[in-house]
Structure 1
Amino acid sequence: MGQRGSDTWEPLENIPGYEAEIEAFAKRLEVAQHEIEKKVAADKTKRSAEKNEGEGEDADFVDAPDNLRSPYWKFFKVRKEGKKILEYICKECEKQGVASPKEYCGNTSNLRTHLNHYHKSIAVNIKEEAIMAESGEADESCCKKGSLEAILPQISKEQRDSLHKKITLWLVRRGRPLSLCEHDTEFREVFDEIFRGAYVPPTTHLVYDNILISSNNYCYLLITSESY
């Protein structure tokens, strides 16, 4: 619809020259849009040039300052504006030639997420060192050792109960002393090595509980083995 006069509306086709007017308007709109795109591109180029001026790409990224106490920071470099961190970049990715700057969101959760996804072993070591430090057992050998517990989920109650029963059957079928599962250091070390602290062999009391579920023959064997 087109307007003629102050309060009269008519279809566009009744207004002389309406097609030319629409075409002219479309061209003006296209030119204006093109100018906006040129300005946006120019501003982006200018910011990029200022960022890398005189030092090459990523030259303004430096090691994270010491006042950032989270252990995750030592695996990243940052680009700052004054005291404000604008972007961060992973040192490990940089070594592999796949690094790309990421906008900093004000906390370390994004750093932790990156390491968990792309550098699992580093994330595991950080977690273990933090646990050791909190328990007062952090020493160089422990921190370097690593364990499956930080990677694998804790053993479930069902799995633990099943292992207890299997140990019980192994003890009685082979005529081993019941105290083996509780006082034999080497026996316990074997299981500790296999499960890396996620599973502890049962105590004598737990073995007795499992024996009650077993047959009388197993009970007889157990009593016999205890008489050594």
Structure 2
Amino acid sequence: MREAIPGAVIGGRYRLDEALGRGGFGVVRRARDLELGAGVAVKEVHLPDSDWPQERASRPARARREARDAASLREHPHIVPVYDLVTEDDRPWMVMRLVQGRSMAQRLADRGPLTPAEAISAARCLLSALEAAHAAGIVHRDVKPANAMTTDRGDILLTDFGIARVKGAGPRGLVTIQDVCAAEGRGAATKSPPARRRATPGSGGCCSSGS
């Protein structure tokens, strides 16, 4: 699918700039809120190339759930807040806080493992975020260095609730193999009906400063 180009305006309000990061579910870009004159981050959700309409239709619905889950936790200091969700070209675009910093995965690649003190601090931040999410009935299921942002001030923020599950939501606990591969940045094209697995609260990754 063709990505939006820098300079495009989404939702009549958000002007896109350069890409900040890419993943299996889409690309996150720096953007400008033309209404408020403020910097934001906008996640462009990729729709999968699939012969199965239900797989293609599930991605916008998941983006809307991700936005609602993250928005419900927006007051937490260690969760990247979502401000808005707009639809453009039949695709959902998620508007989030523009974090001045980088992912923990980038930090580890650039500087190596955290010191014991840094690891303890990061763990406390992420555990606080997960505690708040669990208290709201939301299980993240994809905690890993790429989904933890470290700010220039040293704060740690959890992001990407793309495959999160709300406890007791029934079918929301089903995750396709394509979803798992996309979350890890791997292709998962298939001509057969999508296999599914039941995800449990413990089925996500773990955040490890040494990996």
Which bracket does the TM-score occupy, shorter chain normalised?
A: under 0.3
TM-score by length of 2: 0.22
- Structure with greater strand share of residues: 2
- Structure with greater helix share of residues: 1
- The structure that has the greater radius of gyration is 1
TM-score by length of 1: 0.21
Of structures 1 and 2, the one scoring higher in RCO (CA 8 A, sep 6+) is: 2
